[in-house]
Amino acid sequence: MRSECGYDLGMRNPCGCGITSFLSARRRMFGGELIVRSLHNMVERGNGLGAGYAGYGIYPERKDHYALHLMYEDEQCRQSTEDYLRLYFRIFEAEPIPTRLVASIDSPPIFFRYFVLPKEDALETDWTEPAWDEFVMSRVTEVNSKIPGAFVLSSGKNMGVFKGVGFPLEIGEFFRLDEYQGYCWIGHSRFPTNTPGWWGGAHPFTMLDTAVVHNGEISSYGINRRYVEMFGYRCTMMTDSEVVAYLIDLLHRKHKIPLQLIPAILASEFWKNIDLMESEMKKLHESIRQVYGSALLNGPFAIVVGHRDGMFGLADRVKLRPMIAAKKDDVLYIASEESAIREICSEPDSVWMPRAGELVSGSYEEVQQ
């Protein structure tokens, strides 16, 4: 096998993409360079057609504002989008997302970020937080689907996504992740197999505070997409992974499904196993499959999800993609390979391999007043 600059030119594909993540339950802050190091340790799992990161806690001075990260193809679509945003939001700050020159990244898109809150007259009479979230979701969907050349990369509070075409080190350097501090980070190195490699198609995919990185293939994408679009979402990023972010936002935020039941929907038990359950548990799982059958993810997958209350990982119900978890003090790590964890935590307290369909989750501790 030929190699060049430490890479294998995309000739090796050990079960596809690389995912890595960590979360501090006590909200201890870690520099973005750690997630870059961890992801770079698995560089051979990608082929340079996409890498990306999501950081939580990175905007403490603007933690009560929605942080919109946008990507533009040109200045004209930036102006059109900003005109649109002004109709619906109070913009407290707008600025280019800081970047560095990287030799291997040529002609990148334009990146801007906006710290906003909905205008009260646009919200009409409902000023509750759930109404704000739904309002922002609708505006994000409209930008992505109706303004050519504009794409919302993230829209949560005190979090942001940085992604593009390149290897993990290149994307981390380009977006100057070493200058950010966060208490939860997730990362993804892409090896696209049946969708294009482009800046918007890199992971993570998001909706509000939910950010998803995914290794695998969603063979049920068609029915999953039709299902979420019944609830106002639109898939515009030309990759099957996008629909996972919308499914989780729909189930957890809008339908109030507890995290513990998410695996029973996305990676539900086989009918033959449900038949062997005790009466009450059997009734629960039968109801879930009947109501949420269109949300079941078929195909091989391993996902890590960041959200406003924490982070979780989940593999498909026969575990066709790898996932390793570890803990050190209050920090939970989830990655495709143990080496990615030990790169930034050499002596974890525990390391284990989650079972197929098993939820691995971490949440933030209550802040003592």
Q: What's the pLDDT at 15? A: 61
SS3 22: strand
Per residue in 67-110, pLDDT (tens digit) is 999 999 999 999 999 999 999 999 999 999 999 999 999 999 99
Classify residue 212: in a domain, yes or no: yes
CA angle 191, 205, 216 (to 5 degrees): 35
243 φ/ψ sector (left φ>0, alpha ψ -120 to 50, else beta): alpha
Question: From the centroid of its chain, how far is CA 264?
Answer: 20
26 φ/ψ sector (left φ>0, alpha ψ -120 to 50, else beta): alpha
CB 334 within 8 A of CB 325: yes
Which of 15-19, 59-63, 69-73 comes out lowest in average pLDDT?
Answer: 15-19
SS3 182: strand
Q: 288 to each of 185, 273, 294, how far by Cα in Å?
A: 31, 14, 11
Classify residue 276: in a domain, yes or no: no
Per residue in 18-35, pLDDT (tens digit) is 999 999 999 999 999 999
Identify whether 17 is a catalytic site residue: yes
Q: What distance in Å separates the CA atoms of residue 92 and residue 171, rounded to the nearest whole number? A: 27
- Tell me the residue ranges of DSSP E strands in the chain: 18-24, 30-31, 51-56, 66-72, 89-96, 110-118, 150-154, 159-164, 181-182, 184-189, 205-207, 210-216, 301-307, 310-315, 324-328, 331-335, 350-352, 360-363
Classify residue 291: in a domain, yes or no: no
Classify residue 284: in a domain, yes or no: no
CB 77 within 8 A of CB 155: no
Question: From the centroid of its chain, how far is CA 14?
Answer: 22
The number of domains in the chain is 1
- Using pLDDT thresholds of 50, 70 and 90, give the confidence band for residue 121: confident
pLDDT mean over 256-274: 94
- Closest by CA to 354, choosing from 320, 314, 318, is 314
Q: Chain-wide mean pLDDT for the chain?
A: 93
Structural domain for 250, as ranges: 18-254+300-363
Q: Is the pLDDT at 14 greater than 80, yes or no? A: no
Q: What's the pLDDT at 367? A: 55
Instruction: Find the CATH number of the domain harbouring 62.
Output: 3.60.20.10
CA angle 279, 285, 291 (to 5 degrees): 130
Classify residue 232: in a domain, yes or no: yes
Q: What's the pLDDT at 11? A: 46
268 φ/ψ sector (left φ>0, alpha ψ -120 to 50, else beta): beta
- Closest by CA to 185, choosing from 360, 30, 68, is 30
Phi and psi (nearest 5°) for 37? Answer: -60, -45
What percentage of the chain carries pLDDT values higher than 70?
A: 95
Structure letter (DSSP) for residue 177: G
Name the catalytic one among 17, 77, 184, 345: 17
CB 204 within 8 A of CB 54: yes
The one-letter amino acid at 46: G
Classify residue 53: in a domain, yes or no: yes
Classify residue 12: in a domain, yes or no: no
Per residue in 271-313, pLDDT (tens digit) is 999 999 999 999 999 999 999 999 999 999 999 999 999 999 9
Classify residue 75: in a domain, yes or no: yes
The encoded tokens of residue 21 equal 């993540």
CB 35 within 8 A of CB 22: yes
